[in-house]
Amino acid sequence: MRVAVIGAGVGGLAAAADLARRGCEVTVFEAAAAPGGKMRQIEVAGRGVDAGPTVFTMRWIFEALFADAGRRLEDHLDMLPSELLARHAWRAGGRLDLFADIGRSMEAIAAFASPEDARGYREFCARSAAIYRTLAGPFIASERPSPLELVRRVGAGNLGQFWRTAPLRSLWGALGAHFRDVRLRQLFARYATYVGASPFLAPATLMLIAHVEQDGVWQVRGGMAAVARALHGLAEAQGARFRFGARVEEVLVDGGRAAGVRLATGEVQRAEAVLFNGDASALGQGLLGAGARRAAPETPRARRSLSAITWCVNAPTEGFALAHHNVFFAEDYAEEFDAIFRRRSLCAAPTVYVCAQDRGPAAEAPAPGGAERLLVLVNAPAEGDAQALDLARHEAEAFALLAACGLHVARAPGRMAATTPKGFHALFPGTGGALYGRANHGMTGSFARPGAASRLPGLYLAGGSVHPGAGVPMAAMSGRLAAARLLEDRAGERRAIVGLGLSPAAAGVTADTSRPPAGRIRPAPT
């Protein structure tokens, strides 16, 4: 069976590897010159700087992908565990390191805030682990469920665990039960931004991200671009073909189903199935042809997730001992998200994330006075198709906050490259610059994302805008789920895909909290 994959992002790469391994004739069409999608690098002053995702977690998803191909992940990626998860600083005062070891973090929190907050952190960790155990199999590693189907998968005997995921409470509200110090609520509320949401609107279910980080954050030697190269190599080794610089302009439809693609050059490639690894909203806007418009809904502007302004920097720093991951906070957290999601603007003192790519276990600290690579990021509204931001003003405000926290960056022409929501919209059409698809707000926000099978027969969806959500491991899982759905449909089967590639031990899932995994998907005729 011939399959055309549109987009060599993480989801497309994972799907291509699975489909080619199962005997499909797979061709991946990518508009860019290299694989990775949002996981891209920008050259600044002669060095490549990771300009997209910077955190590698949920290693078990990638281990399963490689193991199914008869390979070992560690033979293709050099990964080092991070003992220090992130360093945090506040403009009003205070610094706090968070560690993979819960005991060390408790000691740091007790000294930073209070022993009571340290105990609250321990309870928070236990709660986040329980939420993760409840949802890893039935939701993360499974085909998109409805709310009722998710309850069925969790099991009637485990409804207590399900309600403890707190789907009706906001993340910010739930954190108040664990932390008295508002700075700690800021720190842990930031997990909502990992999926492009506001902590004041996102469900408390997202506390599970805390457990994901405690389970392991890895620094990859060579940066996140090395992950894209490894996935590209895996897919090629299974027989997938890649065409870079090949922009797809239309999904062809014949007889009411997807039948191939037409490139910007006018070239037509016929296929029995098409897998789209891009923002699903682009389909709903008709950007891939009128025939595919009904395949997925357009995301309303008000429902878009966060965008960002990023600066890739290669310059000397001083005054603050950077870790690999660093977060700098102002005082009014609510104002930041009110500005973005209600007023569609940036506040004067946004939270600033800095990934110091020459720090941490996979790299030596830079020499005194030497330039180092940074990704500096502030959240922004996804208005890249509607308005232009005042980049100079927002740059001054972001780096002023860093300076107030003690970090001074020697900015200079040629040593920085900025990307705005308008730039992200150009890179990823149909998004307005939204980096995570639809915002995960409210109890049903996560169920509003499309599933692997689109509304157009023969067209399948993968990537951060579809189930199970945004982030590198989730995008990889979406690709595997899309490939499995495609093969099941080809075989004429109609059963739910539950627990795909899920190792209960690796994922921390026990029989008390989730259904047993369905095991490997059976081979389908091609």
DSSP per-residue codes, 256-275 = TEEEEEEETTS-EEE-SEEE
Percent over 70 (pLDDT), the chain: 90
Q: Band of the pLDDT at 463, cuts 50, 70, 90?
A: very high
Q: Which residues pair with 241 in a beta bridge?
A: 27
Q: Say whether pLDDT at 517 is over 80.
A: no
Under DSSP, the state recorded for 193 is: G
C-alpha triplet 485, 487, 491: angle, nearest 5°? 115
Distance set, CA 50 to CA 32, 239, 365 (Å): 16, 28, 17
Least confident of 90-99, 466-475, 503-512: 503-512
Q: Which structure tokens are listed for 3?
A: 């399959």
499 vs 96: which has the higher pLDDT: 96
- The token pair at 400 is 């002023």
What is the C-alpha to C-alpha distance for residues 212 and 471, in angstroms, rounded to an integer?
12
Q: Please determine, for residue 260, whether its predicted confidence score (pLDDT) is greater than 50.
A: yes
Q: What is the pLDDT of residue 115?
A: 98
- pLDDT above 60: residue 350: yes
pLDDT, residue 367, reads 57
Average model confidence (pLDDT) across the chain: 91
CA distance 68 to 91: 48
Number of C-beta neighbours around residue 519 at 10 A: 11
Distance in Å from the first CA to the final CA of the chain: 5
pTM for the whole structure: 0.92
pLDDT for residue 507 is more than 70: no
Q: Taking residues 353-364, report their average pLDDT.
A: 89
pLDDT band at 161 (very low <50, low <70, confident <90, very high): low
**What tokens does 286 get?**
């008709």
Give residue-wise pLDDT tens across range 382-391.
Answer: 999 998 899 9
pLDDT for residue 251 is more than 90: yes
Distance of alpha carbon 410 from alpha carbon 203, whole angstroms: 39
CATH architecture of the domain with residue range 2-39+62-70+223-299+445-507? 3-Layer(bba) Sandwich (3.50)
| CB-neighbour burial class of residue 234 (10 A; exposed 0-12, middle 13-18, buried 19+) | buried
More confident residue, 81 or 526: 81
Q: pLDDT tens for residues 104-114?
A: 999 999 999 99
Domain ranges of the chain: 2-39+62-70+223-299+445-507, 103-213
Q: What is the pLDDT of residues 19-46, one digit of tens each?
A: 999 999 999 999 999 999 999 999 999 9
What are the strands of the beta sheet with 248-254, ordered from one edge?
A: 248-254, 257-263, 268-270
Nearest to 100 by CA among 210, 192, 260: 210
| CA–CA gap between residue 301 and residue 382 (Å, rounded) | 8
**pLDDT at residue 504 tops 80:** no
Q: Where are the alpha helices (DSSP H) in 102-167?
A: 102-112, 115-135, 147-154, 159-163
pLDDT digits (tens, 9 = 90+) for 421-437: 999 999 999 999 999 99
Q: How far apart are CA 90 and CA 84, in angstroms?
A: 18
The yes-or-no verdict on residue 167 having pLDDT over 90 is no
| pLDDT tens column, 186-238 | 999 999 999 999 999 999 999 999 999 999 999 999 999 999 999 999 999 99
* pLDDT at residue 160, rounded to an integer: 63
Among the listed ranges 317-321, 442-446, 503-507, which one has the minimum average pLDDT value? Answer: 503-507
- For 506, the token pair is 């690796």
Specify the pLDDT at position 63: 97
Percent of the chain exceeding pLDDT 90 equals 82
| pLDDT at 11 > cutoff 60 | yes
Between 154 and 396, where is the model more confident?
Answer: 396
d(CA 202, CA 517): 28
Q: Tell me what pLDDT residue 135 has.
A: 87
**What integer pLDDT is reported at residue 495 of this predicted model?**
65
User: How far is residue 477's CA from residue 20's CA, in Å, rounded to a whole number?
Assistant: 16
| Residues 425 and 377: beta-carbon distance below 8 Å | no
Residue type, 172: W
> What local confidence, expressed as pLDDT, does residue 288 receive?
98
pLDDT at residue 349 tops 50: yes
Cα separation, 465 vs 462, in Å, equals 8
Secondary structure class of 316 (helix, strand, coil): coil
The DSSP call for residue 345 is S
59-63, 138-142, 145-149: least confidently modelled range: 145-149
Query: Are 39 and 298 spatial neighbours (Cβ–Cβ below 8 Å)?
Result: no
The Cα–Cα gap between 104 and 119 comes to 12
Q: What integer pLDDT is reported at residue 516 of this predicted model?
A: 29
Q: Is the pLDDT of residue 522 over 60?
A: no
Structure confidence at residue 493 as a pLDDT band (50, 70, 90)? low
Question: Distance between CA atoms of 303 and 408, rounded to whole angstroms?
Answer: 36
The whole-number pLDDT of residue 138 equals 86
Instruction: List pLDDT tens digits, range 226-250.
Output: 999 999 999 999 999 999 999 999 9
pLDDT of 513 above 50 = no
What pLDDT does residue 149 have? Answer: 77
Residue 157 CA, distance from chain mean position: 32
What's residue 512's pLDDT? 31
**Are 439 and 200 contacting, i.e. CB atoms less than 8 angstroms apart?**
no
Judge whether residue 497 has pLDDT over 80.
no
Other beta carbons within 10 angstroms of residue 190's beta carbon come to: 20
493-508 burial by CB neighbour count: b if 16+ within 10 A, else e?
A: eeeebbbbbbbbebbb
- CA nearest neighbour of 17 among 52, 62, 79: 62
Please report the pLDDT score of residue 500 as a whole number. 76
The answer to whether residue 119 scores a pLDDT higher than 50 is yes
Give residue 271's identity as a one-letter amino acid code. A
Locate tokens 């232009």: which residue? 388
